[in-house]
Structure 1
């Protein structure tokens, strides 16, 4: 590629970071406890609202359609935004379903019930071999569903969503 601006489709990212390390910022409550300043010299992918605590990621992933309305300016600041088809902007990827794994993102991706799983497939597709999650808690703390506080839409996750998410993340790690 002659420049970053030439990277406009998911196929442009295949193997682009072969053998490299990636830090992925999820949105769990523990993210608020971390000093993220050492990441300034690293390749970082943010998920959903992680830009509220660390806006300078190289990549960003968002499945949540609400965030395009809630934070349009912050979303547009992402260097590269991976999202699902039908979102207002970003690099679109077709959603194939909830459970499964995609090695070829040109055909689509599986949600795994969480943006963290979608991001894992993108990271592997890009060639990263060491993938480190920060803030991937799969539990709430002191009434906080996320590092920024509480999201009403996540209040039932411990009972309904976390078991499915855990299953898929274990599948993806194998």
Structure 2
């Protein structure tokens, strides 16, 4: 089976490495410049060319949350896989460490088994087990899959044995897709979860981060984002009052003009890791630096003593159910915004009052989006309506943060001067300090 990858960029490269060139027929990309040359030696085409010449191949959407193209494919009744329905490692999160740990490792799996799922990962596991000599393998398609997609799946993969609920009693189920609850028909089955790789990669746990838990219990902190409403006067005020601050991304570009430094710096974006790697030295006087394991093409080894590498998770399940981590040392949920990660860190450190500053929440490709003139990697949105899509997801993340905080006696207040974020109670920044 060959595939066509939608998106000739970072995650398209990851898929190239996971699948191999021989399994990729072409890449689809809306950028005309990319279509003028190949990507990893594979042709780059537009959607019309796909429909005319490549329609026999299954599409894998590599952009985050479908990139807005799922509606096009469903309109044209084209079967596709979404990358975010696979384990987060397929999008690069923790992939390097997972490869080191899992390479050559084999699970003890009985011969007669059922794969639960309908994803690319389901198919790849099925093929892998067949190649290893397993003969009695079948697939149970989840109940959330509508009839049209079930029919398309069977047509695209005619050699995969699809089983019905009545055939699943007292068997072993390999879970290859995350769901809240398995169907009642599977209640008697023995389940082996192979979709949650945190169960198999001990290296995702950072005991250095664990040593920081509740270190600042009952205190307050400021999460300083990089929105254009942030001013140097704000930073000087924070510095003068010795406030504990957590900041992010390109904040270091303001360091030459201020004595203020955050106590914690957080980097999430995979592209940001590569874009800013040569500027990490500017953060030498920041005590605690946290970097996500989101970039499989970056060597984290030199940073392990001076930075805290945390395991970030971004997938369809954690977004649709908007999960919030209560153990930053083991896994952190992306929420499509580094500010959400910072909130999870602040909670883990024990803070009971968290103030947001510089969270303007007004993303536009036509206006200045940041405190300094630095453009950040996530300013360039992929797919169709990427800006609105990311903003919708981050809004839900902030709602989850508010819900979690309320349930745990934590206050999150928005002290941003010009903010479009209406989730949290707003306060005036200047009123937070004694004269």
Query: The TM-score by the shorter chain falls in which range?
Result: 0.7 to 0.9
CA 1:32–1:70 in 2, change beyond 3 Å: closer, same or farther?
farther
Picking from 256, 266, 270, the partner of 1:61 is 266
Distance 1:150 1:36, change over 3 A: closer
1:147 maps to 2:371: yes
State how far apart, in whole Å, the 2-side matches of 1:67 and 1:56 are: 21
Shift of 1:170: 1.3
- Say if 2:250 and 2:374, in contact at 8 Å, map to a contact too: no
From the superposition, tell whether residues 66 and 28 of structure 1 become closer, same or farther in structure 2 (CA, over 3 Å).
farther
Residue 398 (structure 2) aligns with: 169
Decide whether aligned partners of structure 1 residues 67 and 78 sit closer, same or farther in structure 2, where only a CA change above 3 A counts: farther
Partner of 2:347: 124
Which residue, 311, 322, 337 being the options, matches 1:114? Answer: 337
- Kept after mapping to 1: 8 A contact 2:228/2:358: yes
Task: State the distance in 1 between where 2:374 and 2:363 align.
Answer: 9
User: 1:96 and 2:297 equivalent?
Assistant: no
Change (3 A) 1:18 1:31: same
Deviates more, 1:150-159 or 1:25-34: 150-159
Q: Any idea what the Cα deviations from partners look like across 1:129-158, whole Å, max 9, x if unmatched?
A: 100011111104771121123626414464
1:53 and 1:93 map into 2 onto residues whose CA distance is: 25
Q: Partners of 2:368 and 2:351 in 1: how far apart?
A: 31
Distance change (3 Å), C-alpha of 1:16 and 1:152: closer
SS of structure 1 residue aligned to 2:329: coil
TM-score scaled by length of structure 2 = 0.36
2:63 corresponds in structure 1 to none
For the residues of structure 2 that align with 1:166 and 1:158, how far apart are their CA atoms?
A: 12
- Note if contact 1:32-1:148 (Cα within 8 Å) is conserved in structure 2: no
Q: Distance in 2 between matches of 1:76 and 1:22?
A: 21
What is the rounded CA distance, in whole Å, between the counterparts of 2:348 and 2:374 in structure 1?
Answer: 32
Unaligned runs of 5+ in 2: 1-206, 404-435
* Aligned equivalent of 1:13: 212
C-alpha contact (below 8 Å) 1:32/1:147 kept by paired residues: yes
Q: Deviations over 1:10-61 (max 9, x none)?
A: 1011000000000111111111475321111111111111222355111111
Residue 84, structure 1, aligned to residue 292, structure 2: yes
- For residues 274 and 361 of structure 2, what CA distance do their matches in structure 1 show? 21
Work out which of the two has the higher radius of gyration on C-alpha atoms and give 1 or 2: 2
Q: Which moved more, 1:95-104 or 1:140-149?
A: 140-149
Unaligned runs of 5+ in 1: 1-7
Q: Return closer, same or farther for 1:50/1:139 CA change in 2, 3 Å cut-off.
A: same
Higher RCO (CA < 8 A, seq sep 6+):
1
How far, CA to CA, are the matches of 1:67 and 1:46 in structure 2?
Answer: 18
Distance, in Å, in 1 between the alignment partners of 2:275 and 2:238 is: 24
Report the Cα distance in structure 2 between the residues aligned to 1:150 and 1:159, rounded to whole angstroms: 22
DSSP-derived class of the 1:123 partner: helix
- Matched length: 167
